[in-house]
Amino acid sequence: MRRIVRWVGTRHVSSHYASFALLGNSAVIFVRNMFMKFMLGALIALFVTPAIAADTTIEMLNKDADGNKMVYSQEIAMIESGDTVTWVPSSKGHNVEIIASPNGMKFKSKNSKEAAITFDTPGIYYYWCTPHKGMGMIGLVVVDGDLSNKDDIAKAKAMGKSKKKLKALLASLS
Ligand SMILES: [Cu+2]
């Protein structure tokens, strides 16, 4: 009785091994294909996902880490079309007002409130903080690295300290 069980067991194992050996080559190819597909998927996820929807957060500040007063934490934001920029009221009393853009964008946020814009048209967007536009509180958003409306932005309104700042920001783009 014991012998029979062992014999059946051995037979079972060896036949299983035989069928595996028969399928060995295609099994290896199958596993390799699955692995390649997985790696390809991982690569695509790594490089494509960030470009699909990236978010930039800019703080509105009374004072930054360097001691600059009335500033946006990021004065030039380089983004891709479809990306969203969110301005957060880290300090109170600030807003975002678009002054010049490639598509005539009208936008003015409420003071001390978070504001978000999703940019779809390539080009340079120039904005200021309405209460501090004369104190150099301005910023640029550049979509898809498109600088073709740079001259229009240079001609746009700038008050007080912002005149120099706007020139410097635009100069740093080229
Ligand atoms: Cu402000």
> What is the side-by-side order of every strand in the sheet holding 76-79?
76-79, 138-143, 123-128, 97-100
pLDDT at 35: 64
Mean pLDDT of the chain: 84
Span 43-60, average pLDDT: 70
Give the count of beta carbons closer than 10 Å to the beta carbon of residue 95. 22
pTM of the model: 0.71
Domain holding 63, by residue range, is 53-171
pLDDT at 12: 44
Categorise residue 151: left if φ over 0, alpha if ψ from -120 to 50, beta otherwise. Answer: alpha
Are residues 64 and 146 both part of a single domain? yes
At residue 46 the predicted structure's pLDDT band, cuts being 50, 70 and 90, is low
Are residues 155 and 77 both part of a single domain? yes
Q: Ligand 1 mean position to 27 CA, how many Å?
A: 65
Are residues 34 and 75 both part of a single domain? no
Q: Ligand 1 mean position to 55 CA, how many Å?
A: 22
Are residues 64 and 8 both part of a single domain? no
Q: Ligand 1 mean position to 61 CA, how many Å?
A: 7
Q: Ligand 1 mean position to 101 CA, how many Å?
A: 20
User: Which residues are near ligand 1, the ion (C-beta closer than 5 Å)?
Assistant: 94, 129, 132, 137
> Taking the mean position of all CA atoms in its chain, how far away is CA 25?
44
**Which of 52, 67, 88 is where one domain is finished?**
52
pLDDT at 20: 46
| 51 has a pLDDT exceeding 60 | no
pLDDT at 33: 73
Q: What is the CATH number of the domain that holds 99?
A: 2.60.40.420
Are residues 42 and 91 both part of a single domain? no
Q: What's the number of domains the chain is made of?
A: 2
Q: Ligand 1 mean position to 137 CA, how many Å?
A: 6
| 2 has a pLDDT exceeding 50 | no
At residue 147 the predicted structure's pLDDT band, cuts being 50, 70 and 90, is very high
Are residues 31 and 57 both part of a single domain? no
Are residues 151 and 88 both part of a single domain? yes
Are residues 61 and 113 both part of a single domain? yes
Are residues 36 and 60 both part of a single domain? no
Are residues 38 and 19 both part of a single domain? yes
Q: Ligand 1 mean position to 56 CA, how many Å?
A: 19
Span 119-143, average pLDDT: 98
**pLDDT tens per residue across span 4-31:** 444 444 444 444 444 445 556 666 666 6
Whether 112 and 93 have beta carbons less than 8 Å apart is answered as yes
Are residues 70 and 31 both part of a single domain? no
Check residues 46 and 116 and name the one with the higher pLDDT. 116
How far apart are the C-alpha atoms of 62 and 9, rounded to whole Å?
A: 80
Among 3-17, 85-99, 149-163, where is mean pLDDT lowest?
A: 3-17
Q: Ligand 1 mean position to 171 CA, how many Å?
A: 23
Per the document, the length of the chain is: 174
Are residues 67 and 126 both part of a single domain? yes
**pLDDT tens per residue across span 73-84:** 999 999 999 999
